Amino acid sequence: MIVFTKKNALLILMGIELMLNAANLNLVVFNRQQTGMDGQLFALFVILVAVCEAAVGIAIILRVYHYYKSAVPDQVSDLKEHE
């Protein structure tokens, strides 16, 4: 919901992180009910990817902010046809 409703790109990124964390939680919890370590390993991978994603995402947001003086995606509309 945060991803859809928030205006600021940072908050959208935050929402994505939250979704990933929720998925991790699910992975860890459901791993308990069956044998093996697949779920926990997968959660570790997700954390790893989430870190990378957060780093890249924040970097992009920073660059966008530098260029447009704004971190709101709706205002970044160069490609859109102006009416």
Partner 1 sequence: MSNAIIILLITLLIPVVSAGIAFSVKEKYGWLIPIVSSLLLLAAAIAVLFPLFGNTQLTEQFSLPWLSIGNTSVSIGILATPITRLMAAVVLFVSAMVHIFSIGYMANEKNTDRYFGFLGLFTFAMLGLVYSTNLLITFCFWELVGFCSYRLIAHTQQKPAATQAATKAFLLTKVGDVGFLIGLLILWTQNDTLELAYITSPSGVWSTVAGLCIFIGVVGKSAQFPLFNWLPDAMQGPTPVSALIHAATMVAAGIFMLVQLVPVFTPHTLWVMTAVGIVSALMGAAGAWLVTDIKKILAYSTISQLGFMILALGLGETTGAFTHLLHHAFFKAGLFLAAGSVIHAMHQATHQTEVDVQDIRNLGGLRKQMPVTFIGFAICAAALAGIPLTSGYLSKELILTAVHQKNIWWLELSVWIIVFATPLYILRLFWFAFLKPATHVLTVNEAPWIMRLPVILLAIGSITFLFQQGHLSSFATQILQTEIAVPTSIVIISLAVTAASLLTAWLSKNLSTRSTEFLIQNFLDSINLYLIRFTTFAGSLTTTFDKKWIDRSIHTLAYGKVMLAHVAGWADRNMVDGTVHGVTWMARGLGGLTRSVANGKIQSYLLWAMAGLLIFIIWMLY
Buried b (16+ CB within 10 A) or exposed e, 36-74: eeebeeebeebeeebeeeeeebeeebeebeeeeeebeee
Residue 37 lies near partner 1 (rule: CB under 8 A):
no
Residue 34 lies near partner 1 (rule: CB under 8 A):
no
Stretch (H or E) spanning 30: helix 9-31
Among 10, 46, 64, 73, binds partner 1 (CB under 8 A): 73
Residue 77 lies near partner 1 (rule: CB under 8 A):
yes
Shortest separation between residue 3's beta carbon and partner 1, angstroms: 7
Beta carbon nearer to partner 1, 1 or 37: 1
